[in-house]
Every structure is written in C-alpha cells, then in structure tokens.
Amino acid sequence: MVDPQIGVLALQGDFAAHLSVLESCGYRRSPVRSCLDLDQVDALIIPGGESTTMLKMIDRYEMREALVKRIRNGMPVFGTCAGAIILADRVSDGEMALGTWDLQVERNAYGRQSESFEADIKVRGLDETVRGIFIRAPIIVDAGGAEVMATFADRPVLVRNNTMLAATFHPELLGEARIHRWFVENLCAGKE
C-alpha cells in the first residue's frame, strides 16, 4: 500500500489523540463512524476508551460484521488498551469482543482509574524507550502465537500477529508517534 488511508474508529474513546498523532506524521487519516467510512480506509486503529460502550456502539451502527470481515481478510489494525480488548477472542469477564485475534485479555488488570500510571516501555525494533500511559489497562494473559514486541512487569504489553498490533497502554496520549509510524510503515505497507 502506498500512502494508505488510516482510519480511526471514532465512536467513543481517545480517537482524537490517534488522529492527531497520525496528522503529526503526515499520514492520510480519517475518523470511522460507519460501514461506509470503513470501506474508505486501508487500515484501522481502534482506540482506548470503554470497551463495553464501544462494542455497544459498534453494534448500534451495525458495524460488527463488516469490521470482523475486514480484519479477518487482512486489513491492518492497531488496538490500544480497550482496542486490544475489542480485538481479543477471550475476555476475562466474558465480554463478547470481535474475536478476530487469538488473544486472552483481562480487563482493568492493573486496578482502578486512580491506580493509572506511566511507564517507559522498551519496544523491539525501536532504539529508545516509549512512554506509555496505563489507564485501567488490560493485561494479555495469553498472546497465542503473537510476537511479543514489548513487556512490562513480565507481561506482554505490545504484541503483533501478521497485520494486527495490540498495545495495552496508550502511546498516543503523550503524542508518542513511533509505534504509529511502525504500524503504518511495517504492517500497512505489507512489510514483514
């Protein structure tokens, strides 16, 4: 894909921060709020927010089937925090996520909102650490066959499987662009 159009699911959550990071990188980007919007993008970011609310919105706007089909057909996708939960096929509380990835996640595993924190994350392939924010963050209990690109406290926090990338933290809230660049340059461009 040359100069892909990157969509950001804009139903709930911190989608504006992702759009801002993509803009700072000079990438073509657009909010995705409908199946028509989804048809116009080459790749998708599913932001952090509240996974239950986001999934209800996906169903309200009748986007579930189209999202699952596009992701299973190889559309590059990057989920952060709640976005990682939405991609998973097994969620600790039984939430019916999209089930597009063999991941098992546990919601709110680091504690309540008041226990949120920032941490420096060493990401495979990047020279310097990435600062990430963990807000009611999930943990990846089982990454299946995914490549673990970063860990925190001996748990995977950034994983990759083919054209899918999932982070349990938020790089975008600090304007951190390196993971977004990696996603676009490696997964959206079809590089391995």
Q: Point out the residues that are catalytic.
A: 81, 170, 172
Q: Are 80 and 169 in contact (CB under 8 A)?
A: yes
**Euclidean distance between CA atoms 122 and 82, whole angstroms:** 21
**Residue 82 phi, psi (nearest 5):** -60, -30
**Euclidean distance between CA atoms 185 and 179, whole angstroms:** 10
**Euclidean distance between CA atoms 147 and 67, whole angstroms:** 23
Q: Indicate the helix (H) or strand (E) that contains 166.
A: strand 164-167
Q: Are 82 and 50 in contact (CB under 8 A)?
A: yes
Strands 77-80 and 164-167: parallel
**Euclidean distance between CA atoms 173 and 178, whole angstroms:** 13
Nearest to 6 by CA among 25, 175, 107: 25
